[in-house]
Structure 1
Amino acid sequence: MTPIRVAWAAATGPRRREVADALLGDLVPTAEISRVCPRCGGDHGAPLLTGTDALASATYVRDGMNRVVGVVVAVMERRGLVGFGIDAQAGESADPSGVLGVGTLRDWVRIEAAAKAEGRGLRADLARVTPSENGWTAAWDGADIVRGRDLDGPTGVLLSAAWRSA
């Protein structure tokens, strides 16, 4: 299995994207980092790496008051992949199970990572997450299966990564 490299740092407010880019630059020093929103074309959204054969993802960790307190980034070699995403939530974050119809905060972290890897964000029906031998899989009706696994991250933070093959 292709390794996933992860980095994180404390960050708040508008500096969070600068921190994410600095962390990505440390992980892949040869890459140029940009962002293009697939909906509006603005310079925000998922990080895109050029000058390397890696995919990147970033997420912002929120506390129980929904304030950003940290940044987590990850990179994975492309090797036939067309999508990659991560999500992280502080263990004390609000549990979405009653609000969004998912079982646990861990399920939510997996679904959000899978949605990023699928490229659809959370604008579609939530995925079904199923444990597998080496992690988990997620699927939407009529969509390709996204594979994923839980990762070690900052203390007290749930972290998952997901990827989609061509």
Structure 2
Amino acid sequence: MFAEPVRGRVLLGATQRERWNALGNEHERRRFARSRAAVQDVVAEFLETSGLDLGATVIGSGAPHADLVLDARCPTCGGPHGPLTLAGTERTSRRSSRSLRSPRSAAPSVSLSASEEAIVVAVSDDARLGVDVDVLFSARRGVGSDDVAQRVRHVASVLGIDAGAERDVLQRWTRVEAVLKADGRGLRVDPREVSFMDDDHDHDDHDYDDHNHDYDDHNHGGAVPVTGLSRWRAIVRDDVDTVYHGSDLAVGPDRVGAVARFA
């Protein structure tokens, strides 16, 4: 599950270079580089592989790809913290003043999440999607039981739910984050505006399980399946006609994750 050090160059667009330069220490820069190299690696593999509808990957080592330059620009303020894109193929929010390219355009939709040492990348050529991963508070260094309880209560209050078990609260948080990334507006939307329902009826052909892969430091970059957990649907209350289909991801005993898609 833990990524090996990235070797070689990481190709960053202007906004990503801004973020790199703003990072305070070498450790943060290495983590940033690892996550962006992971995106380049996954997208390159995705583009080389025919017949895949969705890719979601927990990443190990990455390699640079000369034609895949990463960028991000906030559609609201223009800052370097917007949705991740491949330079020259930007996909804007469906609620921004600019039009969004068709989900079936040549430019894939890319989503990245990193927490502690966990890195998850999702890519699709026929859907807008979002992915999120979080490390349990109780598994983080230097976090005591009182801190865990306080953080769980805080996250629950942001979500507008009762503070229950840590894993349940953080799983809900990753679902919300995944939906709002797929929505395109991120946390500019109040997380309490996201509503969920079970998705136990018939599914379409997009099988999250088959296209999720796990890279760890034991298989040195080899991919093994990552099991999908419960599936669900969600809406954002100011757009009830748009239904997001999602799946919780099995990303290790101390982590929770989710991926959401809208086609």
| TM-score, length of structure 1 as denominator length | 0.75
How does 1:1-166 map onto structure 2 within 5 Å?
A: 9=3, 13-29=28-44, 31-49=68-86, 53-61=107-115, 69-79=116-126, 81=127, 83-92=128-137, 94-95=151-152, 96-102=155-161, 104-125=169-190, 126=192, 127-133=194-200, 135-143=231-239, 144-165=242-263
Q: How far is the alpha carbon of 1:154 from its aligned partner?
A: 4.2
| TM-score, length of structure 2 as denominator length | 0.50
Q: Which has the higher strand share?
A: 1
Query: 1:8–1:73: 8 Å Cα contact kept in structure 2?
Result: no
Give the 3-state SS of the residue equivalent to 1:145 in structure 2.
strand
Report % sequence identity. 27
Query: 2:244–2:261: 8 Å Cα contact kept in structure 1?
Result: yes
Structure number, greater radius of gyration: 2
Give the 3-state SS of the residue equivalent to 1:42 in structure 2.
coil
Unaligned stretches of 5+ residues in structure 1 = 1-6, 62-68
- Between Structure 1 and Structure 2, how many residues are aligned? 150
Q: Report Cα offsets for 1:84-108 as digits up to 9, x if no partner.
A: 1111111226322245323522111
Query: 1:106–1:158: 8 Å Cα contact kept in structure 2?
Result: yes
Q: Report Cα offsets for 1:45-69 as digits up to 9, x if no partner.
A: 32112576422111221xxxxxxx2
Unaligned stretches of 5+ residues in structure 2 = 6-26, 45-66, 90-105, 139-150, 163-168, 204-230
- The amino acid of 2:159's aligned partner reads L
Query: 2:131–2:259: 8 Å Cα contact kept in structure 1?
Result: yes
Q: Which has the higher helix share?
A: 2
Change (3 A) 1:123 1:152: same
